[in-house]
Amino acid sequence: MSFKNTSDWLNFDREHLWHPYTSMTEPLPCYPIVSAQGVRLTLADGNELIDGMSSWWAAIHGYNHPSLNAALIEQLQSMSHVMFGGLTHLPAVTLGKHLVELTAPPLEHVFLADSGSVAVEVAIKMAIQYWYAQGETNKQKLLTVRGGYHGDTLAGMSVCDPVNGMHNLFQGVLPQHFFAPRPECYADGTSNIDTLEILLSKHQDDIAAVIIEPIVQGAGGMHFYCAGYLQQLRQLCDKYSVLLILDEIATGFGRTGTLFAYEQAKIVPDILCLGKALTGGYMSLAATLTTTRVAQGISADTGVLMHGPTFMANPLACQVANASIELLLASPWKSRIAQIERQLMMQLSSCAQYPVVKQVRVKGAIGVVELHQAVDMKTMQADFVAQKVWIRPFNKLVYIMPPYIINESDLSRLTSTIHHILKHLTLNT
């Protein structure tokens, strides 16, 4: 089946294809992309958009990178896929070695999953199975914080914010877990972790693990918090005998200024979830890492980890992930992130002058402008495209997380466009 022109296939898209968080009766506009190169997305009409989103954190090297293209082409010549049950292959083993060497020493065992949501599912299963194998069969609950986001599958949704998150429609069918307040850090060095400790103390016999996004809460509101909170959390997990799961699907591979956000707190999780930037945005792949203690604990009495996706450890995805990691490590990524952070701070801070703006915050290669009221997604998205940039706001947030390779001029174009849109919004409010 072929389409006569762009309008033809766009019409089919609108009538038949579901996009993330959209309605089939009142779909949001979709902009037709025909190619991507570096930090630019080319529309069907020939216009180019500067990408401020890295395709939801993932395309850290930009698009159409020759090294990543070559890795895929080379792997395709030998095999595109083979089941991981009873078989193995060098791309997966090499990737496992990369991840074990890059992460903290206790994290020595790697489960290669399909996506970030699945990595969280696996992490939760690991935690519950670990305690079950130790005879602690009551430990089947999770403790987390409000404002979090951990994916769209059932277990992941159950630990997303139950009130202000995207999944409150499903509360009646989701497992019920424990929620502490969103992490807050204060000028005197203290935090609001006391409430979390009360929950841990009261329910430690039922809680298998605490799950949290370190330093940056992503899709739940782009909230940043201090490393001290994580340090205290690690101590509390040890004190009350629960595992600590860190969801670094959004923050891993340099986005916050360190290779992994947990490094800023100088702690080590019991289970670590990675994804998004793992393949440089080329293919869907994620990983759940854990310690020997947890891995051997699960395997006690011949127990097996009860998960096995059909496409886990896909050779194409593993090979491009290896190439992406090597490309990242060979690049001056730390200085690039630091430069992006400085420029975002300098150019976005003055957004606070607009009455519609509640707060401006920057962390690594993440710039966030939080408004007082939710944006009109349809209108604001069209305004950004008209200015030839790709920035996708949601709820009360206008934010950017550009590819690491972005230059100063293109980043300035993104930030100046945010100013332009917010100034216009202020004048019309």
**Rounded Cα gap, residues 375 and 209, in angstroms:** 35
Left (φ > 0), alpha (ψ -120 to 50) or beta: where does 189 sit? left
Q: Which of 251, 313, 328 is nearest to 67 (CA)?
A: 328
Cα dihedral 161→162→164→170 (10° resolution): 120
Q: What are the contacts of 421-426 at 24+ separation with CB within 8 A?
A: 421/380, 421/383, 421/384, 421/387, 422/351, 422/354, 422/356, 422/357, 422/369, 422/398, 423/354, 424/383, 425/354, 425/356, 425/380, 426/354, 426/355, 426/356
Give strand ranges (E) for 2-44.
33-37, 40-43
Nearest of 159, 286, 119, 146 to residue 217 by alpha carbon: 146
The answer to whether residue 282 is catalytic is: no
Catalytic residue among 161, 247, 383, 410: 247
Q: Could you say which of 63, 130, 132, 149 is catalytic?
A: 149
Query: Which residues does 216 contact at the CB level (< 8 Å), separation at least 6?
Result: 222, 223, 224, 250, 251, 255, 256, 261, 363, 366
Read off the amino acid at residue 380: M
CA 164 to chain CA mean position, Å: 18
The gap between the terminal CA atoms of the chain, to the nearest Å, is 47
d(CA 393, CA 406): 20
92 CB contacts (<8 Å, ≥6 apart)? 84, 112, 313, 315, 318
- Note if 21 is an active site residue: yes
- Tokens 């006391």, located at residue: 194
Q: Is 247 a catalytic residue?
A: yes
Q: How far apart are CA 61 and CA 14, in angstroms?
A: 30
Distances (CA, A) of 19 to 56, 106, 319, 413: 14, 39, 28, 27
- Bin 244: left if φ > 0, else alpha if -120 < ψ < 50, else beta: beta
Task: Give catalytic residues, as residue numbers.
Answer: 21, 149, 247, 276
